[in-house]
Amino acid sequence: MQFDQVTPILRSFDAAKAREFYVDFLGFAIDWEHRFAPDLPLYMQLSRGGCVLHLSEHHGDACPGAAMRIRVSDIEAFHAELAAKRYRHARPGLEDRPWGSRDVSVTDPFGNRLTFTDAVST
């Protein structure tokens, strides 16, 4: 038996803020979006490389305040990319951890924390 990729579902509340943070700042692409009707909550898939996330405005799908770790092969380049964007809501640092990894942590507009890491095992 083998388990495959995990796709976390993160709670969101505002499509424009989600796009600004995940697409404009973090560099994810929107793979698809779905609404049952124009005035109903948005559910979307975002990806960057092998990392796939789902964002949902549906109250029953997830709770705000989730935390996750995402492996990045070149954490220094990713940090430099984020710093160059001068995003007004976050200026994350590159942190050396006592266990040997280097991390960049950001919190999205909905309270979810994403820690990007170069750790071999997350």
All structural domains of the chain, each given as residue ranges with its CATH number in brackets, are 9-117 (3.10.180.10)
Express each pLDDT in 87-115 by its tens digit.
888 899 999 999 889 999 999 999 999 99
pTM (2 d.p.): 0.92
- Tell me the pLDDT band of 122, cut-offs 50, 70 and 90: very low
For the record, the structure tokens of 90 come out as: 């976050």
Three-state secondary structure of 36-98: CCCCCCCEEEEEECCEEEEEECCCCCCCCCCEEEEECCCHHHHHHHHHHHCCCCCCCCCEECC
Give residues with Cβ within 8 angstroms of 19, minimum separation 6: 30
Mean pLDDT of 12-24: 96
For the record, the structure tokens of 95 come out as: 């942190």
